Amino acid sequence: MIRLENVSKTYFTEKGAFQAVTAMNLSVEEGDIYGIIGFSGAGKSTLLRMINLLERPTHGKVIVDGKDLTSLSPRELRRVRQSIGMIFQHFHLLSNRTVAENVEFALEISKIGKKERQERVQELLHVVGLESKASSYPSRLSGGQKQRVAIARALANRPKVLLCDEPTSALDPQTTTSILSLLQEINRIYKVTILLVTHEMEVVKTICNKVAVMENGHLIEELHLADKPISVKSYLGQILLADPNGKRIREEAAYV
């Protein structure tokens, strides 16, 4: 479903060039819930954002559903992007639109007719359990509810892939659990392939079947979590697995 071939990203700033991702190869199969984990600054978000070309790779190919996105025209890319939904740590909802209007917005952009838009919004708000909040504005919602709206909006155009950038990092543990269950349900009902960036192994262990461990822009190793026992070779992979809540990661990251 998704293949990254020798993908690198260099940022050019006033301070000079900085290589955030180096020659990464990754293969995500249809139906996977695929985690990307590592310390802060490892390049996880950069990698995720290259999958819908929010960041354009400096080198390499990004192949989604058989198409090399790096070779598409802007128009073709806009169309393909509709099949790739995305959610973020801080939700990014439109504050001047209601819950229903936030979800509908994605359908307006794809020029879907009004009747179909409204039916789809109803269905999605039902799936994320927010029918009663359709007319509320985002400022009146909890963090978990805001993420549910963002998920409904990301699913509006029936994407094949959902990219999740630290989707639970701004949420308390109980809300995190409910959002992760929702993502799992969406993966099952809609057969959406999910890629999820996180710094917490607990999140990965709860819903992912595979995880890529990243450090300093490199893929350190890939773990198949369905295997028992899980085979872990890298030191970083062992730390992450032994410390599912990421406490030690945060301590070590603060120390270095």
Ligand X SMILES: Nc1ncnc2c1ncn2[C@@H]1O[C@H](COP(=O)(O)OP(=O)(O)OP(=O)(O)O)[C@@H](O)[C@H]1O
Least CB distance to ligand X at residue 15 (A): 9
Least distance to ligand X from the beta carbon of 169, Å?
Answer: 8
Amino acid at 103: V
Tokens of 118: 């409204």
Judged by beta carbon, residue 16 or residue 229, the one nearer ligand X is 16
Distance from C-alpha of 69 to C-alpha of 86, rounded to nearest angstrom: 16
Q: What residue ranges bind ligand X (CB under 6 A)?
A: 11, 13, 18, 20, 38, 40-46, 199
Specify the residue, 36 or 183, whose C-beta has the smaller distance to ligand X: 36
Which lies closer to ligand X via its Cβ, residue 117 or residue 210? Answer: 210
Phi/psi at 138 (5° precision): -50, -35
Q: How far is the CB of 36 from ligand X (least distance, A)?
A: 8
Three-state DSSP class for residue 124: helix
Instruction: With beta carbons less than 8 A apart as the criterion, state whether 25 and 6 touch.
Output: yes
- Dihedral angle at the C-alpha atoms of 186, 192, 25, 219, nearest 10 degrees? 0
Cα gap 108→82, rounded to integer Å = 12
Q: Based on CB atoms, which residue is closest to ligand X, 100 or 212? A: 212
Please report how close the Cβ of residue 17 comes to ligand X at its closest, in angstroms: 10
